[in-house]
A and B are shown apart, each in its own frame.
Chain A
């Protein structure tokens, strides 16, 4: 019996939306982003939100959307405040509160802008929650993106937990030498070099060895890398990608030249 690539490496995706080819999901997300910000009026963001909702249900995402929503709050809160209270030239005041004069125009603009931000965030969430990043990179690499870009992206992604782990080890070692990490603020400032130093020097001295190690594993060999995972694609999906891309570009151009003024 010939051995095959283990399941935990292949990690096949399943489900209505998740099972789509990663490139399809990427194109969908990009089009959603363009539409959310590029089409004038309410139609753009609302259409995107509707699509994301449908896809989200198909992909059974549910509550995982919530952190992405929460992340938009600082931005949307400031948009709402600034526009409602300070929209230039608006005169339809909602209510007078001393020096503050919130206006309906401002509120309307703010709400629309908020919807755009939320629509964008939701489309990012949809992509992020249904498409593991290394799947996306693997598919793009197969389509010709090149191993160096794949390496840089992959290494960057994994860098965060690695650096966090290293930072933990360094903090432990320095605290064990009496570095005060819980005391007064000015003392903790003095601790920056002992904590940052090994992190930076370690990273710099490692680069040369890492480069050699990569070469030793044939990194610069010519030709394509072996593809272990293929993601199902179909003529239908290919057509969909082209249609979406073309349609989005058309809609954007139409919006810019003012041909979509009839939309709310």
Chain B
């Protein structure tokens, strides 16, 4: 069972060139796959296509296939897809429903839409708040949260849907280092514990170094390299693709260049 793109080429409505070209990608259950690349290399488009939102909700042209657990995304209804693929975009303020008066109710928005029992709804909300560490925000008005807090609430709201696959576009962009670490650990734990598959777009390669199993590099809409996370993140070609390598890789290279031996404490 996996989230699989095969030969996916996608062009936005009215665009001259495709934003994604011949993408083959598989996110297995329980795996964390990182996506890196320069801005405008197609990372956000990849998220839209993998989640089935493109072309279903935003139009455009897709050739190739996108399957979630062997079901074509084009043949599923949006709410069915939503339970299989949870997706989170960069801008927290658009991710929140704007109709709820408290963070608790905001996180419960998804489960309620699905018509789950009251007990199950309560359970999912409490669990999501605990996993993301925001139980203290339960009574707060979602409209008056800081960017980082809103981002955490949006993540919890998606987790409450218990999706089998999580597609996250820079979920830590507004978080402080502690928050980033917490989210990274939560995602790795989720993948391991529940078998969720995670597709994680990030600039913070240090985070991917810690939690990703595999990483793919996007450049101008194509996957130009893929591999096991720690080895690919040490690849010297990353800066050429607009990607800042993780600290340990930079240190290893700098140490090599200076002819200094770096103790294994780094790795």
Contact = CB atoms under 8 A, between A and B. Distances in A.
Q: Check whether chain A touches chain B (CB < 8 angstroms).
A: yes
Interface of A: 2-6, 8-9, 134, 147, 150-151, 154-155, 158-159, 161-162, 165, 206, 208-228
Contacts of A211: 57
Nearest to A134: B101
A165 B159 CA distance: 28
Contacts of B143: 158, 161-162, 165
Contact of A219 (B93, B113, B119, B123): B113
Given A216-B53, A221-B115, A228-B118, 10 more contacts: A4-B122, A6-B138, A213-B97, A217-B97, A219-B79, A219-B113, A223-B115, A226-B114, A227-B118, A228-B112
Contacts of A221: 79, 82, 113-115
Given A4-B122, A9-B102, A209 B78 contact: no
B113 A215 contact: no
A103 B99 CA distance: 52
B151 interface: no
Interface in B9-55: 48, 51, 53
Chain A interface, >50% SS class: helix
Given A210-B94, A213-B94, A216-B51, A228 B108 contact: yes
Chain A CB count within 10 A is highest, among B91, B122, B126, for: B122
25 contacts: A4-B122, A6-B139, A8-B102, A8-B104, A151-B97, A154-B100, A165-B144, A209-B89, A210-B94, A212-B48, A214-B97, A215-B78, A215-B82, A216-B86, A217-B157, A218-B79, A218-B82, A218-B161, A219-B113, A221-B79, A224-B115, A225-B112, A225-B113, A226-B114, A228-B112
B77 interface: yes
B46 to A, nearest CB: 15
Given A212-B57, A213-B89, A226 B99 contact: no
Interface string B159-183: 0010000000000000000000000
A215 B111 contact: no
Interface residues of B, number: 50
Chain B CB count within 10 A is highest, among A2, A5, A150, A206, for: A5
Interface of B: 48, 51, 53, 57-58, 77-79, 82-83, 85-87, 89, 91, 93-102, 104-105, 108-119, 121-123, 126, 138-139, 143-144, 157-158, 161
Nearest to A164: B143
A226 B98 contact: no
A129 to B, nearest CB: 18
